Amino acid sequence: MPDNLQTGRWSKSELEIIKSNFQSELLYEIRGSMFQKGECSVGKDVHAILRKMFLPGIDQELPLGLQANIRNLLKKIEEYPVEGAMPHIKANDLIIQYLEQQLSVLEGKQEAEVIRLEDLSKPLDKSEEDRYITMLAALFLPTYIDGGLVALRDLAVAKEMTPEELKAKALKDSSK
C-alpha cells in the first residue's frame, strides 16, 4: 500500500487533495462541466479523484471489501433473463461513455460532447428499446453525479478526529 494502514476507500494523500479542493467554488464548476452547463478543467490530482469517484476500477490498493464496480451502476443484471438484462447493460455502457467523455472534457482532452445529457431524455425518433435505454441513463446520471460530488464535499469538510475522540466514539457506539 502506498499509504500505510489505509482503512477506507481514499488514501491519506487522496483525502488531502479532497480537503483542499472540494469545499470551494471548484466543486460547482466541476458540477457544471459534468452537466454540460459550463466549462472547467482540473489538474491531474483532482482528475484522479473524480475518476476514482465516478468510474471506479479494480484497485489493488484498496482494503478488502471496498472494491467498487462501475458495471453495477444500475439494477443487478443477474436478476433478469438475457433479453431483460440487455437494455440495462446498454444503459450502463451509455452511462460509462458519458462519464468518460465528461472526465475527458475536465482533463482538457476533449472539447465537444458526443453524448448530450439533455438529448438522452428526448424521443428523437428512437425505438422503444433505445428510448428505454437512454431514459435509464438520463434519469440515473444527474443523481449519480450529484451524489458523488456531495460525498466528496462531505469528505472535504469532515473534521478529523483525534485518537482520544475516536476512542470515545468507539466506546459510545459499542454501548448502543
What residue type is assigned to position 131 of the chain?
Answer: R
Cell of 57: 476500477
Q: Is residue 33 part of a domain?
A: yes
Q: Name, in order, each residue with C-beta under 8 angstroms of 148's C-beta and a sequence gap of 6 or more.
A: 53, 54
What's the pLDDT tens digit per position in 19-48?
999 988 888 999 998 988 877 878 899 999
Position 3 in a domain: no
Asked if the structure places residue 4 within a domain, the reply is no
26 within some domain = yes
Sign of CA pseudo-dihedral 29, 33, 39, 40: positive
Q: Each residue of 134-167: pLDDT tens digit?
A: 999 999 999 999 999 999 999 999 887 777 776 7
- For the stretch 82-102, pLDDT in tens is 888 889 889 989 999 999 999
The answer as to whether 7 is a domain residue is: no
In a domain, residue 98? The reply is: yes
Domain carrying residue 70: 12-174
Is residue 5 included in any domain, yes or no?
no
What is the distance, to the nearest Å, from the Cα of residue 76 to the centroid of all Cα atoms in its chain?
18
Residue 77 has pLDDT above 90, yes or no: no
> How many domains is the chain partitioned into structurally?
1
User: Is 2 contained in some domain?
Assistant: no
